[in-house]
Structures are given as C-alpha cells and as structure tokens.
Amino acid sequence: MLKRNVDVVVLSDVHLGTYGCQATELHTYLKSINPSILVLNGDIIDGWQFKKYYFPEAHMKVVRRLMKMMMDGTEVYYLTGNHDEMLRRFTDLQAGNFHLLNKLLLDLDGKKVWLFHGDVFDITMRYSKFIAKMGGMGYDLLILLNSLVNKISIKFGKGKLSLSKRIKDSVKSAVKFISDFEATATDLAFEYGYDTVICGHIHRPAVTEHHRNGKTVLYLNSGDWIENMTALEYYKGEWSLYQHLESVQLENQYEADDTSDLNLYSRDDVFKEFMFSNA
C-alpha cells in the first residue's frame, strides 16, 4: 500500500528505552507516512531511564526507521527535551538531513510556526531536577503496573484503562498545570507574533484556537507515544491530530521492514550515541 504524503509530522515524548514506550505502534505509523519534514519535539530517547540492558528490538526498529527516512530525503529536526537534555550541548548540529536544535521556527504557507518541547515552563524541572527525575521513575513504574493490570482487564473482557490518565485528570494541581502550560505558551506566541505554537512535554494532545485583539494563535500539542499514541500532521495548509488506534491493524498493509541494511546499527551503538555525555 502507498504511504501517505504529509508535509510536516510532529512527534514528541516517545521515551524510547522505557517500558511504557509503544514502539511497535509507532514503527507501524512511521512506515505508513512519507513526510517532507519530521519534527521530533523532545523526549524521544529517555536519557533519565535509559539502561543498556533494556532497549528492545522494537525500539531499535524505530531508530532504524528514522534513519531510513532521513536517507530517503525527509528533513528531520530533533528538538531537545528534558529527558534528552544531554544533547543540548550539541545544539545547532547538522548532518545531512538531520538537525539538532532546542527550538524551531517554520514558515508554512505564510504562517509562523514556533516549535519547542516546553519543559522550560516546568518549575520542577528548573529548580528541583532530582524531584523531577524521581517522578519520572515513578511514572515509569506506574506504566509498567498499568500494563499488567490491562492484561488482566482484557482477559476478563473489560478493555484497557490508563491509571496515569485517571490520576492526572483527578488531581486539581495537575489539571491546573496543563491549563497554565497552554496559557503560557499561547501568551508568548501572541507576544512574539507567531501564528502557531507547538509543544510536547505534558503528554496531553491538543488542538485549540485562542483569540485576542483580533488576532488568532493556534496551540498544538503532539501528545505522546506512551498513553495517547498521537502525532500532529500538516497537509495542504491544515493541521490535524493523528491518533493511532490499536484496533486498526495497519502492520500487514505495508511492506516488510525494509531497514535490514541498517541492522548493523546495534543497541550498543544507540547507548554510546545518547549516553556518552553521562559517562
């Protein structure tokens, strides 16, 4: 089956190297699209939780797929996030179709589109990194527990549930943080004259318009590939939110994995590339 042509795709919060990463589903999605520009908006490989003994083949397939997309002509912009902050010392690096940046400004059909991860708004990240990292470990354990609970739930015909979503939706401070995050990003977009602002970080997909003094700012959040399995797509002048549905079996519709020529790129290579700065 032919791949879908897309002008721009934005992904964030994949967290490769963690138990919660939905790498198989992400690989299926990447095989189904042919974007001119792919923006990896932070927390793609999780440097906080990254362990050499846990980087499954499904995660490696995602890495190889991204490499193949670059080789096939897709411009890939990797914007750093808090979980891959070790890469920030190398920002402004360019190698072929690969660009490593902290933020990105695109001109799409005359619209100014501002992209960055969003952890700069997180007070916990700025002043209490230890607490933030402990929270990240707790979140990873919660996702692992969630997968075990879902196995039992599905066995009894109850379907899947998200413990982390329920917790975030029920905690007033979490709800307020998400609201404040969107408001802050939007305020800055109005101040600097941007038409669209795109973030990640909070794992909450969103497409909302904000109006002020006759001007409009479009706020977008690409969500994540742990709970929501979402991406942002720009095609023919319009943004849309893609959500991968597990019930839709796309894998068999596309050709067998065609990245065998990249199989020499091993898990040890990934470890060296993304963790050498912590050595």
Q: What is the pLDDT of residues 106-137, one digit of tens each?
A: 999 999 999 999 988 765 444 444 444 444 55
pTM of the predicted model, to two decimals? Answer: 0.77
Q: Could you give the CA distance from residue 68 to residue 65 in angstroms, rounded to a whole number? A: 5
pLDDT score, position 77: 98
Among the listed ranges 27-31, 223-227, 234-238, 243-247, which one has the minimum average pLDDT value? 243-247
From start to end of the chain, where are the E strands? Answer: 4-11, 33-41, 75-79, 93-95, 98-101, 103-108, 111-116, 196-199, 206-212, 215-221, 230-235, 238-243
What residue ranges define each of the domains in the chain, with the CATH number in brackets?
4-278 (3.60.21.10)
Residues 240/10, Cβ–Cβ less than 8 Å: no
Closest CA to 121 of 207, 179, 206, 184: 184
Ramachandran quadrant class, 92 (left: phi over 0; alpha: psi -120 to 50; beta: rest):
left
Q: Could you give the CA distance from residue 81 to residue 95 in angstroms, rounded to a whole number? A: 20
What integer is the mean pLDDT of 146-169? 58
Residue 279: which pLDDT band, with cuts at 50, 70 and 90?
very low
pLDDT score, position 168: 53
Beta strands 196-199 and 111-116: pairing type?
parallel
| Ordered alpha helix ranges (H), 74-162 | 123-127, 129-155
Angle between helices 57-71 and 267-275 (to 10 degrees): 70
pLDDT score, position 125: 46
- Tokens 């979980």 correspond to 83
279: Cβ contacts below 8 Å, ≥ 6 apart: none
What integer is the mean pLDDT of 30-37? 97
Residues 111/196, Cβ–Cβ less than 8 Å: yes
Residues 199/181, Cβ–Cβ less than 8 Å: yes
How far is CA 38 from each of CA 84, 147, 197, 252, rounded to the nearest angstrom? 18, 29, 16, 24
Main-chain phi, psi angles of 94, to 5 degrees: -135, 130
What integer is the mean pLDDT of 30-51? 89
Residue 177: which pLDDT band, with cuts at 50, 70 and 90?
low
Closest CA to 42 of 111, 95, 120: 120
Give Cα 21 to chain centroid, integer Å.
10
pLDDT tens digit sequence for 215-242:
999 999 999 999 899 999 999 999 999 9
